[in-house]
Amino acid sequence: MTLRLAAVDLGASSGRVMLGRVGPGQLELTEVHRFWNGPVQVGDTLHWDILALYREILVGLRKAGALESGAREASAGGAGAAGGERGLQGIGIDSWAVDYGLLDGRGKLLGNPVHYRDARTDGVMERVLQKVSADELYAVTGLQQLPFNTIYQLAAEDRLEQAEMLLMIPDLLSYWLTGQPGAEATNASTTQLYDVRARGWSDTLAQRIGVPAGLLPEIREAGQVIGPLLQAVAEETGLEPTTPVIAVGSHDTASSVVAVPATEGDRFAYISSGTWSLVGLELDEPVLSGEAQQANFTNEGGVDGRTRFLKNVMGLWILQECLRVWGTGDLAGLLREAADAPAFAVLIDPDDPSFLAPGNMPRRVEEFCAKSGQEPPRTRAALVRCVLESLALAYRRTLRLGQAVAGREVEVVHVIGGGSQNELLCQLTADACGLPVLAGPVEASALGNVLVQARALGEPLPDLTAMRALVRATHELRAYHPQGKPADWDAAESRVFGTR
């Protein structure tokens, strides 16, 4: 039997509801609803428009449930035009990490969730580190220091006094669908309040920074059934009230990594490429050494207890903001021109903090050039080339660091997510890393989402190896082999980062 599963996958620039069909040898996704998502500045605060997202999710679920499937197979098999299957056997939600909603004692949302790129966390990390040392934080949580980690957002939070419960974004949306609160583990692991070895909240850390331990709901693991739909939600979406919402790797990156199409025994790295590029390795255990901390590598929780040993690289965000400022959607045209633009003309460090907040990226690139004694790019195509080469350079540096710190050697780099469609970036990545790149699948997080649901519903996909084999069997990948001169990349790296 084919399962019909809805994957709600929320990214930093768009959200989508996909209908997944999963069965023996079958893994198909149909996008049924796509909607805008992004920062909304009101007064001095950058928000997410969580209610609009919720409304769009309901619309998407209605469409997913109503989309007929199986009609063709039924009539071809002689069963007559009995009509196709409808409804859903499961729903799973994944989104970006670190952000949350606060609820009062009656379960009402206390204001719109604040966007992690909001300036309220400026300078907060330094304040928190006076209460808890960076060494202690890393020893407990194994997390990379990013200014917007939940712990720092909570230290800057002005609604804590009225709050009774904190729900991470996917947990908040699942709560609205089912009435069941909880904290899915892969996303909880990004808060910097989660004990990576004990695999639970660190009440001690929470107390030390003034977060009441009772605020953090019970942890649940990917694969657990959260609960059936509330009656009102079932009516609104036209779905059966028994339809279960299932916890998936609710951190989008955790779901993406499930869908890395690696074969058992492969020595692979992955780049989950979207608004962010998450660059790293999959490990069985966290690495909490001084070198890992120094390298600022994170040990985020993966599905089935794996460790996502990775680093955030600024990703396609800089380019997305350039397109927004230029008022153009013609990325394909710009990429064609960028492919012919001169190589290594201008290079930036994409992880420079000046690129974090939304704004005029072309200007910020110019400012970076001024600071680093470079002529700024003169054309849009040159700027695009600069961003992509600089990203490839950051990938190379991060992968080499990660391999050294984890004591692992990599033979292939899997690029998954939206950025896997960017041919120029994939080729530059292969060139910079000196490794073959396998690109795809594009919709990795939605695939990881439905795979975990399918297993929870009894589909024989016992482990990540089986899930990945199904992805490989059903999705085309594109291979890129390193070209050009490795010495050019060595020179480029020392230009941007020195010889460290």
**Which part of the chain contacts ligand LFR (CB under 6 A), choosing from 194-202, 207-215, 273-281, 490-498?**
273-281
Which residue of the set 9, 118, 252, 351 is catalytic?
A: 252
* Least CB distance to ligand LFR at residue 112 (A): 16
Nearer to ligand LFR, 96 or 176 (CB): 96
Residues of 286-300 as b/e, b for ≥16 C-beta within 10 angstroms?
Answer: bbbeeebbebbbbbb
Cβ(436)–Cβ(480) below 8 Å: yes
**Which part of the chain contacts ligand LFR (CB under 6 A), choosing from 93-101, 134-142, 287-295, 464-472?**
93-101
How many residues make up the chain in this entry? 500
- Of the candidates 241, 224, 259, the one whose C-alpha atom is nearest the C-alpha of residue 29 is 259
Tokens 């997305």, residue located: 320
* Single residue of 163, 167, 259, 278 touching ligand LFR by CB under 6 A: 278
Nearer to ligand LFR, 276 or 489 (CB): 276
* Single residue of 175, 176, 276, 355 touching ligand LFR by CB under 6 A: 276
Considering only residues 29-48, where is the footprint of ligand LFR by CB under 6 A? none
* Least CB distance to ligand LFR at residue 146 (A): 7
- Of the candidates 89, 77, 78, the one whose C-alpha atom is nearest the C-alpha of residue 2 is 89
* Least CB distance to ligand LFR at residue 11 (A): 6
Nearer to ligand LFR, 237 or 312 (CB): 312
* Least CB distance to ligand LFR at residue 457 (A): 25
* Least CB distance to ligand LFR at residue 312 (A): 5
Sequence-ordered list of residues with C-beta below 8 angstroms from that of 476, at least 6 positions apart, any chain: 440
Please work out the total of residues on this chain that contact ligand LFR, with binding judged by CB under 6 A. Answer: 14
Residue 252 is among the residues annotated as catalytic for this protein? yes
Here the tokens at position 355 are 């690129």
Cβ(491)–Cβ(451) below 8 Å: no
Considering only residues 387-446, where is the footprint of ligand LFR by CB under 6 A? none
C-alpha to C-alpha distance for 390 and 407, rounded to whole angstroms:
25
Residues of 344-357 as b/e, b for ≥16 C-beta within 10 angstroms?
Answer: eebbbbbbbeebbe
Nearer to ligand LFR, 169 or 205 (CB): 169
Nearer to ligand LFR, 194 or 276 (CB): 276
H or E element that contains 150: helix 150-155
CA dihedral 163, 166, 171, 174 (to 10 degrees): -10
C-alpha to C-alpha distance for 382 and 236, rounded to whole angstroms:
49
Considering only residues 308-347, where is the footprint of ligand LFR by CB under 6 A? 312
Nearer to ligand LFR, 39 or 274 (CB): 274
* Least CB distance to ligand LFR at residue 40 (A): 17
- Give the C-alpha distances (Å, rounded to integers) separating 110 from 114, 119, 166, 197, 199: 11, 20, 10, 32, 28
Considering only residues 193-252, where is the footprint of ligand LFR by CB under 6 A? 251-252
Considering only residues 99-138, where is the footprint of ligand LFR by CB under 6 A? 116
Q: Is 253 in the site for ligand LFR (CB under 6 A)?
A: yes
Cβ(237)–Cβ(229) below 8 Å: yes
Nearer to ligand LFR, 97 or 428 (CB): 97
Which residues of the chain form contacts with ligand LFR (CB under 6 A)? 11-12, 96-98, 116, 251-253, 274-276, 278, 312
Q: Name the residues annotated as catalytic.
A: 252
